[in-house]
Chain A
Amino acid sequence: MASYPQNFRFGEFVGSLLWLIFWVLIIVTLVGLPLVFIVLYYVPLPPINGEVLTPFLFLTMAVDPSRTIPIIEHFMTTDLFRVAAFPGFTYAALIAAVTIFVERKFLAKMQLRIGPLYAGKIEGIFQLIADGLKLIAKEIIVPSGADKPIFWAAPIAFVAVAAAVVALIPAAPGYVAADVDVGLLAVFAILGFFPLIALLFSWASNSKYPFIGGLRALHQMIAFEIPFILSALSVVLLSGTLNLTGIVNSQIQSYWFIFFAPISAFVFYISSLAELERIPFDLPEAESEIVAGWLTETSGMIYGLIQLGSYIKTYALAALFVILFLGGWAGPDVFPQEIETPIINIAPLYDPVAANATLWFTLKTFGVIMLMLLPRGISPRIRIDILLHTGWYKLIVLTFINIFIALALIYGGILGPGGLLVR
């Protein structure tokens, strides 16, 4: 079978291309440009660097790209940038994407496999894109008798709530979407929505296995919520603030809190594994017992959204671990104070402090994420009664031990205002 027209002539092909270019040019000049001018005339644009952004100025940017730098600089100070780009959704989604790839390769190496290989030629780096396209292309099947509004809303709510946690995470000094004074409390308040979404979705699925999975999710998250919050309490005692930026700053002034609160860090790590429903705590999705748990009736992009949400949640909890215990963005300077780039000078956009902070924050977060991926290769699934016993009896006791240590450090004058170890 020929894949090109039978009466194909190269000359005609080139001619048709030239006609196409001709008509595009004509339409752009006669219709497109006047339209742009009309829109720009009526839309008030902000003055940047004391210069009002006129249509003329806007057109000159097409000729000289370096003129866009003040606009980008201005954009980087807006809330939209914070929410949509840097410490917000794009950054989190990028880290989530890298996490998925690293997890698959890392786990494969651990299990003497190769992992993704073909998509994207080089070690299967585009496997995630292939999977995403597949999920988008699949049909979404809603079970008969399902509660349709909740069934459709829950996956979106899952991603939204995960992204809401990300909004509270400062990734560099000043780079945080919502810098609230009770940041840590707000994080835990938002995390409290996840079992609700799991239960609502499992109930809305109108199926037995999702229902068992939803109940398991509820039990598990409630059992681990309390040690989770209590493990952060000793950090709050040590730093004297609930503000996440404040917690990082107090660690920069003294030492990383993991040295003073190792038990809390351990409990926090275990609890975040349970919160993320990762092995060994993946009971709500236990495959061999209850098919896929509360995700049994998900299909296509509904499943994709919940997976995206859970990986963004992984980033958020790893970042929270870094902020609470590993000193956030603290680290030695590696970037030069000034840079000079050829052709387009991006020096006005360059902030060595933020670049340095971002580097260290990202590296530490990846380290913690790797630590969270590790149990999947070495551990079987835990049983619900052992899990509840671990959550309610053991972890809470452990956190209290560390709270008393923190109190002793504060009252002993070692940490806290004017303490021995505070620089």
Chain B
Amino acid sequence: MTSLEDKVEESRKLGLQIVKESEEDRLMTLSVGPQHPGSGHFRFIIKLDGDYIVYCDPDPGYVHRGEEKMCEYRNVIQNIPHLERPVIHDSNNVTYSYSLAIEELVGIEVPRRGQFIRAIASELNRQVYTLYWLAIYGIFLGHSTMFMWPTGDRELFIDLLEALTGARVTHAFNIPGGVRNDMPDGFKDRCIRQVRYFEKRLKEYEDIFYNNPLFRQRTEQVGVLSKEDAAKLGVTGSVVRASGIPYDIRKAEPYDIYNEIDFKVQYMKSGDSYARSYVPFLDMKESCHIIEDLLDKMPESGEVRAKLQPNPKGPPGEAYRRVESGRGALGYYVVSDGTPKPYRVKISVGSFRNILALPYLLVGQKLADMPAIYWSLNYWPVEADR
């Protein structure tokens, strides 16, 4: 187990320097992004000594939209459609914790069937996000089949969500008080059929991608984040679970009906890029079980949405609730001053906390490992900028 200080020492021993004025000449400064095919809406400045990265400076903020400020001009219901914009692939999870926080403020109880539908939509949407993430991870490592297969299989869940919510990506489905509408007829059977088919596909993913010797060579022992460093840097989601800390909000602070669902927290101990890319895959497998379990235990009929007054407002106060999104803990801190509009909304996203680890992981690695480490951090630039 190497700490961050040891890593700096180690890179010194390798002849690498953490940016010294006198050695500026031999370093090449590369601006990776925002127009780089391997960066997303994000830039990081790296300095290269030969093929080694000696310095990294992440520079987010290219897609800042002022979501938090926008919340202050709308009432709590009007906030739903624009809040899901930062991560349209994971929109149910983004609005989930917001709804939980507002419910706590206003003081309403969600009907039991509504809680189940919420959880199902959340799990389906997590699959959509993780498949999209996996597709990009595949193409970042030059594996074009791994780009096409997950983007194709995403349609399974997008179709299910379309049947459930009426929209393909931006669902605006979770609202304070429950979900917008009940399940359509025959959804349960269709959902089970498609999830079972997807479980078969996951085996093929493992064969072509995760067990590929070239993929393992490229990612194993690359960008190792030790258990201590992971805790120190405060990373969340699949990144912290890949470093050997079995921390999942669904288990740690169960919300809605997650305490009734039987599932295991998937984690690995090595903390390298391979573990960080394999944990979301294990999560997808586990999510399939969760969906089947939820459909089993769901009450056959009942209300899905608590009755709210037209312009819901609570007493002055504050609430902080968080859920496990595709990228880790996603929390909303909402302050209310007694009016229908929130006084302040603070969004704490997993992406931003994960990218904090990037400068520490990249230093001392080769340039070719840059996409393998960067995208394994489960980072979504738009979400981090909010």
Q: What total of A-B pairs shows CB separation below 8 Å?
A: 83
- Is B366 positioned at the interface, with any CB of A under 8 Å from its CB? yes
* Contacts known (A288-B142, A380-B212); A111 close to B30, Cβ less than 8 A: no
Which stretch from A84-92, A242-250, A343-351, A382-390 is at the chain B interface?
A382-390
Using CB atoms and an 8 Å cutoff, list the residues of chain A in contact with chain B: 107, 110-113, 208-209, 212, 279-280, 282-283, 286-291, 376-386
| Best-buried of B140, B144, B369 by chain A (most CB within 10 Å) | B144
* Contacts known (A111-B148, A287-B142); A379 close to B214, Cβ less than 8 A: yes
Report the bound CA distance from A279 to B141 in whole Å.
10
Interface string of B37-76 (1 = CB under 8 A from A): 1100000000000010000000000000000000000000
Contact B366 A385 (CB under 8 A): yes
Q: Which residue of B lies closest to A107 (CB)?
A: B144
- Is B301 positioned at the interface, with any CB of A under 8 Å from its CB? no
Using CB atoms and an 8 Å cutoff, list the residues of chain B in contact with chain A: 28, 30, 36-38, 51, 138-149, 152, 208-209, 212, 214-215, 217-218, 366-371
Q: How far is the CB of A224 from chain B (nearest CB, A)?
A: 16
Known: A288-B371, A379-B142, A383-B366. 12 other contacts (CB 8 A): A111-B145, A112-B149, A112-B152, A208-B30, A212-B367, A287-B139, A290-B367, A377-B145, A380-B141, A380-B146, A381-B368, A386-B218
Q: Which residue of A lies closest to B147 (CB)?
A: A111
Residues of chain A within 8 A of B138, CB atoms compared: 380
Contact B36 A378 (CB under 8 A): no
Interface of B is mostly: helix
Residues of chain A within 8 A of B143, CB atoms compared: 379-381
Residues of chain B within 8 A of A382, CB atoms compared: 214, 217-218
Q: Which residue of A lies closest to B28 (CB)?
A: A208
Residues of chain B within 8 A of A287, CB atoms compared: 37-38, 139, 142
Q: How far is the CB of A296 from chain B (nearest CB, A)?
A: 10
Contact B142 A380 (CB under 8 A): yes
Q: How far is the CB of A155 from chain B (nearest CB, A)?
A: 22
Report the bound CA distance from A384 to B368 in whole Å.
7
Contact B37 A383 (CB under 8 A): no
Residues of chain B within 8 A of A111, CB atoms compared: 144-145, 147-149
* Contacts known (A112-B152, A208-B28, A382-B218); A288 close to B145, Cβ less than 8 A: no
Q: How far is the CB of B158 from chain A (nearest CB, A)?
A: 16
Contact B142 A280 (CB under 8 A): yes
Q: Which residue of B lies closest to A281 (CB)?
A: B142
Residues of chain B within 8 A of A383, CB atoms compared: 217-218, 366, 368-369
Residues of chain A within 8 A of B218, CB atoms compared: 380-383, 386
Contact B371 A289 (CB under 8 A): yes
Residues of chain B within 8 A of A282, CB atoms compared: 142
Residues of chain A within 8 A of B141, CB atoms compared: 288, 380-381
Residues of chain A within 8 A of B147, CB atoms compared: 111
Contact B37 A291 (CB under 8 A): yes
| Best-buried of A208, A282, A286, A376 by chain B (most CB within 10 Å) | A286
Contact A288 B38 (CB under 8 A): yes
Contact of B217 among A107, A110, A209, A386 (CB under 8 A): A386
* Contacts known (A379-B212, A379-B214); A289 close to B145, Cβ less than 8 A: no
Residues of chain B within 8 A of A290, CB atoms compared: 367
Residues of chain A within 8 A of B152, CB atoms compared: 112-113
